[in-house]
Structure 1
Amino acid sequence: MLWHTLTLDFEGVNTSETADLNPFTDYRLLVEFSNGETSYLIRGFYAADGEAENTSATSGNIWRVRFTPDAVGPWTYKAQFHKGENIAINRDASVGEPIELDKAVGTFDVAPSTATGVDFRASDRGRLRKDGRFFRFESSGKYWLKGGPNSPENLLGYVGFDDTYRLVKRSRDGEASTEGEIHAFEPHRKDWNEGDPLWGLKSGEPRGHSMIGAMNYLAEEGMNVVYFLTNNITGDGNDVWPYVSPTEFDRFDVSKLEQWNVLFDHMQSKGILLHMVTQETENERLLDDGETEFYRSLYYAELISRFGHHPALIWNLGEENGPSSWMQTGQTDQQRKDMASFFAENDPYDHTVVLHSHAAAGDIDHIFAPLLGHAPLDGMSLQIENGEDVYETTRNWHKRSTDAGNQWLITMDEIGPWFNGALPDSFDPDHDDLRRHVLWGHLLAGGAGVEWYFGGRFPSSDISAEDWRTRQNLWTQTRYALEFFDQHLPYWKMGDCEGVIARPDVYCLAVPNEIYAFYMPGRGSSMVYLPELDAGEYIVDWFDPKRGGNLQTGSVRRLGKGGGQFIGYAPNTETTDWVVLIRKQSN
């Protein structure tokens, strides 16, 4: 069906993860899928016995390709299997010694999707792409904002996945402690529902209840993105890697990666974007000393082959990438450009590519200024130390990237300081500063979405968090913001509104002479200076960003023909902050 993954298995060379002739480097499966004038060249991968997620197999003769069609109707495929030294990272189909495959050519029909709701495979959703400053669905053209957890970043350091363990237990300044065990997410076992997927089904011990349950919980709370690392060797968690061992970078753990994919499939069905972060600052030079040469190319090619078929996915090139004021070593400007270029050249689905920043303004500028105008990089994954800086920082980098000829999509993905982040509800039940400065500040600056980092020192930290219910109030307030933007604002065509409101502490987004949205801190009011209208008037509504609900009416319902006017007072004095929505009303 449309936007649903087609999996083709071929019986090829019978080998193993540890075979002398390395199946991950010295064989290559390429499959061309065609529909009329549209064609995709998709790289396949070694799949052991074809059931490794359930058997934990390390050997077999199954070679697999996954493809997500973007059009209904008849399709054809043609597979080519080759052998050759390090051929796996060469996409030239003419290179290598050919190996004959049965059923190498075939046809199939794609029917309309039957998925509905938030499922990314629904007919009105489909692949999520960057369009200017925002994400947009390829199928319907509808714009979309993200909101959800940035933590725990070591989500995949989970007891239910094969060969997953912590390399080093430690506690050091500047990061969350890893002295505890890897994740079990036991509080979310109750959120697993009968019929939900599991893995290890042929091992006598089905696994994944708590992980799948956690995704169910987040989806029920209206969250639509989760941030996670795919390699944190030598990093903060030291418990996530795709390899058969943390010291061999050319052999992949087939069963672990297939188990990851069961999780990713479920996340897509629940409307959860995969924010896939490929490395962190401590290991950015682990592969090829930071270059995009053999080991890094192989790593990225495997990620694309095994997971690129998912409709909603972000490639994040690295967390806190590059040298900083507190770490002098890191990748270079050219190495960052080369990573982005690799995905642009090798991801057939053209998923969004971003880079995560350091927190300090000087470090952000040092790393990102040289990347302005580099077309393969789609945007910034911001980390900012102080919430008060979010609004202006987002606006500033939008302008700089636009002026450079490649407008960036900017997301607010980690709020500092590092030891606090977004505290549990038990410490900060109202989240007033986060709501005002980070959530609404970012969105009203034209940002594409917010993810919440859990900090490093408080309980339920960026590494140790086991229960997402510890921030339920934050999820609720995030959902209110996303719903407001989705229901009331054409945010994709809105911009700055300098000089419109007579308060410097108000965040604002507008289409002049049409619609204005203001975040008003406190119980005060303001004068607004609106353009004169040829005909019509302005309607004033108020929205409670903390408690949600419907739009409300304040003391002034209608404004006149423009100029300086008093917008009135809020509907009540119990709510401290308000969002004011002013819209042109035609006669």
Structure 2
Amino acid sequence: MKPLLLLLSSCLLLASAPTVATATPVSGELKTWHKVTLDFAGPETSETDAYNPFTHYRLNVTFTHAASGRTFLVPGYFAADGNAGETSAVSGSVWRAHFAPDAPGEWTWSAQFRKGRFVAASTMLLAGEPAGFMDGKSGTFTIAPSNKTGRDFRAHGRLQHDGGHYLRFAGSGVYFLKQGPDAPENFLSYADFDGTFHQDGKKDNLVKTWAAHLRDWQNGDPMWQGGKGKAMIGALNYIASKGLNSVSMLTMNIEGDDQNVFPFTDYHTHDRYDVSKLDQWEIVFTHAQRLGLFLHFKLTEMESQGLLDHGSVGLKTMVYYREMLARFGHHLALNWNLGEENGEWVTNHPTTPMNPDQRRAMVSWFRRNDPYQHPIVIHNGLPFTDLLGPDVGLTGLSIQIDSHSCNEVVQHWRRLSVAAGRPWIIANDEQGPANFALPPDDIDPAHDLSRQGSLWGALLAGAWGNEWYFGYKNPHSDLTCQDWRTRDKFWDQARHALDFFGKNKIPFWRMNPANELISHRNGYCLALPGDTYVIFLKSGGTKTILNLGSAGGLYTGLGKERFLGTYEIRWFDPRNGGDPRSGSITTITNTGNTGEDGDGDNNARQFLGQPPSDPDRDWVILVRKQHQAPQ
């Protein structure tokens, strides 16, 4: 495959010799980071046409920013009558492309429309033959700055990998930590969506209504077909109202635990897409992004990883990836999870398990074809060592970890990824033990294990966040939950963690795990040595000592002066939130004086005192250097 992002789009402008369209097909809010849509009149066809519109036509649109010359090659798709989410249309002549411009000013577009057997799976510029209609047409539009504020991702821009262990918004420059539900994995198994899954005899009892969240829908919120979708939109409203910022879903679970989620026209047809259902998915995803909810797209699960092309990146797989990218790739905050429980790691696979070459081919396809270069992650399964390093291009891991070992495992993969030359982002997106994981509030109202081991254990190991798995034995489980309020008390604790890092302006993206700096064996430490230390203590802090790392100690290469000075100590309650408070000691000072053993470290080892209350409960200690104001 040839890279498409820059090389192909540049060639396209030269090869197509486009003529300017007589009428603009552009719609949407013409602002930076907003969705701009191009609708074209193309061949009249249908989901079931003998000449398959999903495989035998290919619409690509190249967008070029006039001032910078930056180009994006964006795939388009067959949109039936252009309003299929409302009409349930299966046929029509509308072909569509979405684009999210990253800068104000003038943009040009140029369309290429090709036809031929399986042309949609080809990345060759001149695959197939010209299909007429919009082929070769072009135009311009002008983009103004966004007017959005607050949680709406259009106020912040596209979420991108910064080359380290975190993601950062391209517009606002803000670094992102995520918290949200990982369950139910069959979120999109929803009665109000079009499709055959409701009555195909494949676990139809698991199709959801989300009725408990109907009360959370608000006037002015989206819906479709005269009132459908309200409960699912309400569920997203509830998650956002709790201060969370992500939501997760499988987009295909044929042969999986639920078997009701797939983008195809039916359970057995894997190269034709349900246009109206996917339009309705887009309504939901658009609302989520405006609420500030990150979209975690899980493209396969363990049982379906070999369903298309026996696990290889062949015709059906490439068309599937292309359809997901064309329809949803314009969204600003998302990742492509290429496989939940992926690779040959358990027996009795219903389909062929993926091998290391196939896994690397998945990564390569998205790295070459996603114009926005969204993060690419993978979930538990085959050990990840085959995916390390810059040549593979994986962004990171979305992994299942037992709560007791979360901190250790996140650190392990951070270290290995750095040693391999491409630092990974790592999220703890499924918690063990798998049978109970995060129980409902009425079973475990305190949630001590989840809070201590997984929530704070992950964040202080340098993870970029958590998504929360509901277990398979709980009521309101990973498959059966339709009410996110069943974990309402825990969502407060997850929000407290986000508030701590955000409101206290913790520079977590510059920090590294450093448990060796604290004397407490039952705790974690994330440190920017000589500046900021965040310490989590599972069972109180009455005897905790912090090593500030003087010139004779652990960080000799950084220079002694960096560690000298006075540090403030504040205690944060991870159970109840609020502002950090003073404990029995409010400041410590590292003067750099050499101790009796002559190693220069005795003065750097400082007792942190006692918390303001509940000395036997878990606490977060924020130790921050007092910086002298400039003269």
TM range (shorter): over 0.9
Match for residue 322 of structure 1?
A: 343
Q: Does 1:100 align with 2:132?
A: yes
Distance 1:392 1:22 in 2: 50
Residue of 110, 113, 118 corresponding to 1:78: 110
Checking the alignment, whether the CA contact within 8 Å between 2:84 and 2:90 is kept in structure 1 is: yes
Residues 412-427 of structure 1: pairs in structure 2 closer than 5 A: 412-427=428-443
> Residues 159, 586 of structure 1: CA spacing in aligned structure 2 closer, same or farther, 3 A cutoff?
same
Give runs of aligned pairs for residues 290-369 of structure 1, distance below 5 A. 290-327=311-348, 330-358=353-381, 366-369=382-385
Match of 2:26 in 1: none
Deviations 1:80-121, CA, capped at 9 Å, x for gaps? 212111111223332222133359311111011111111111
Q: Is the 8 A contact 1:164 1:240 kept in 2?
A: no
Instruction: Write the mapping of 1:430-469 to structure 2, written as runs, cut at 5 A.
Output: 430-469=446-485
Q: What is aligned with 1:7?
A: 37
Q: Is the 8 A contact 2:196 2:265 kept in 1?
A: no
Confirm or deny: 8 A CA contact 1:234 1:282 kept in the other structure. yes
Letter in 2 for 1:544: D
**Contact 1:83/1:97 (<8 A) preserved:** yes
Q: 3-state SS of the aligned residue for 2:456? A: helix
Q: Are residue 39 (structure 1) and residue 71 (structure 2) matched?
A: yes
CA contact (8 A) 2:247 2:296 kept: yes
Q: Does 1:547 align with 2:576?
A: yes
Aligned to 2:597: none
Specify the alignment match of 1:193 in structure 2.
218
Code of the aligned partner of 1:584: K
How far is the alpha carbon of 1:376 from its aligned partner? Answer: 1.9
1:48 match: secondary structure: coil
Give the 3-state SS of the residue equivalent to 1:2 in structure 2: coil
Q: State the SS of the aligned residue for 1:152.
A: coil
Q: Is the 8 A contact 2:541 2:615 kept in 1?
A: no
- Secondary structure of 2:232's match? helix
Structure 1 counterpart of 2:399, from 382, 385, 403: 382
Cα deviation, residue 169, structure 1? 7.3
- 1:101-157: CA deviations, max 9, x gaps? 3593111110111111111111xx110011210111011222111110000000110
Please give the secondary structure, in 2, of the residue aligned with 1:180. Answer: helix
Partner AA of 1:193 in structure 2:
Q
Match of 2:99 in 1: 67
The 8 Å contact of residues 375 and 406 in structure 1, kept in 2 or not, is answered as no
CA deviation map 1:402-440 (0-9, x unaligned): 101111110000002221010000001011111011000
Across the aligned residues of Structure 1 and Structure 2, the Cα RMSD in angstroms comes to 1.6
Where in structure 2 are the equivalents of 1:84-483 lying within 5 Å? 84-101=116-133, 104-122=137-155, 125-131=156-162, 132-165=164-197, 180-200=205-225, 205-327=226-348, 330-358=353-381, 366-373=382-389, 374-384=391-401, 386-483=402-499
Residue segments in structure 1 that go unaligned for 5+ positions in a row: 171-177, 359-365
Letter in 2 for 1:109: T
Q: 8 Å contact 1:166–1:238 — kept in the other structure? A: no
**Match of 2:605?**
564
Does residue 584 (structure 1) correspond to residue 625 (structure 2)? The answer is yes
The answer to whether the 8 Å contact 2:547/2:604 transfers is yes
Give the deviation of 1:501 after TM superposition. 1.3
Distance in 2 between residues matched to 1:433 and 1:133, nearest whole Å: 25
Q: CA 1:79 to 1:120, structure 2 compared with 1: closer, same or farther past 3 Å?
A: same
Distance 2:398 2:452 in 1: 19
- State the distance in 2 between where 1:416 and 1:394 align: 14
Residue equivalent to 1:24: 54
In the comparison of the two structures, how many residue pairs are matched? 566
Report the equivalent of 1:173: none
Could you tell me which residue of structure 2 aligns to residue 494 of structure 1?
511
Contact 2:439 2:470 in 1 (8 A): yes
> Quick one: distance in 2 between partners of 1:529 and 1:309?
46
Task: Check conservation: 1:127, 1:311, Cα contact below 8 A.
Answer: yes
CA distance in 1: counterparts of 2:445 and 2:515, whole angstroms? 33
- CA distance in 2: counterparts of 1:416 and 1:166, whole angstroms: 31
CA separation in 1, counterparts of 2:196 and 2:404?
Answer: 39
Any stretches of 5+ residues in structure 2 without a counterpart? 1-30, 551-559, 591-602
C-alpha distance in structure 2 between counterparts of 1:559 and 1:156, whole Å: 52
Pairwise CA distance, 1:166: 5.4
Q: Distance in 1 between matches of 2:345 and 2:204?
A: 26
Structure 1 residues 181 and 403 mapped into 2: Cα distance closer, same or farther (>3 Å)?
closer
**Take 2:59 and 2:40, find their aligned partners in 1: how far apart are those partners?**
10
Aligned AA (1:586) = H
* Paired position in structure 2 for 1:57: 89
Q: In the aligned structure 2, how far is the partner of 1:107 from the partner of 1:477?
A: 48
Q: How does 1:494-533 map to 2 (within 5 A)?
A: 494-525=511-542, 526-532=544-550
Q: Distance in 2 between matches of 1:506 and 1:136?
A: 28
CA 1:169–1:542: 2 relative to 1, 3 Å:
farther
Instruction: Give the Cα separation in 1 of the matches to 2:199 and 2:380.
Output: 26
- Check the 8 A contact 1:168/1:238 in 2, yes or no: no
Structure 2: which amino acid aligns with 1:423? P
Give the CA deviation at 1:76.
0.8
Give the distance between the partners of 1:169 and 1:423, measured in 2 at CA.
30
Whether the 8 Å CA contact 2:196–2:266 is kept in 1: the answer is no
Distance 1:90 1:476 in 2: 48
SS class of match (1:249): strand
Question: C-alpha offsets along residues 7-49 of structure 1, whole Å, 9 cap, x if unaligned?
Answer: 1110110111101111111111111111121111111100000
The structure-2 alpha-carbon separation of the partners of 1:254 and 1:190, relative to structure 1 and needing over 3 Å to count, comes to same
Give the secondary-structure state (helix, strand or coil) at the position aligned to 1:121. Answer: helix
Measure, in 2, the Cα distance between the counterparts of 1:180 and 1:107: 50
Asked whether the equivalents of residues 445 and 489 of structure 2 are also in contact (C-alpha less than 8 Å), the reply is: yes
**Identical columns (%):** 44
Give yes or no for contact 2:541–2:616 (8 Å, CA) kept in 1: no
